[in-house]
Amino acid sequence: MARLLHLDASSREERSHSRRLTREFVELRTQAHPADVGTHQEILIQ
């Protein structure tokens, strides 16, 4: 079992290309490796 840490820091939120790409990556990785554990963290400081 592997761990995946997904950090989001873009202030553009839903308009962010990097957020979209990492979200898609995490979805595909989760499908391919369902036993792995993922953690998502927002680190945007407003």
Q: What does pTM read for this prediction? A: 0.78
Say if residues 37 and 1 touch (Cβ distance below 8 Å). Answer: yes
Give pLDDT tens digits for 13-41.
889 999 999 999 999 999 999 999 999 99
Domain borders along the chain are: 3-42
Predicted local distance difference test score (pLDDT) of residue 14: 82
Q: What is the CA radius of gyration of the chain?
A: 12
Distances (CA, A) of 2 to 15, 37, 42, 44, 45: 29, 6, 21, 25, 28
Contacts of 1 (CB under 8 A, 6+ apart): 35, 36, 37
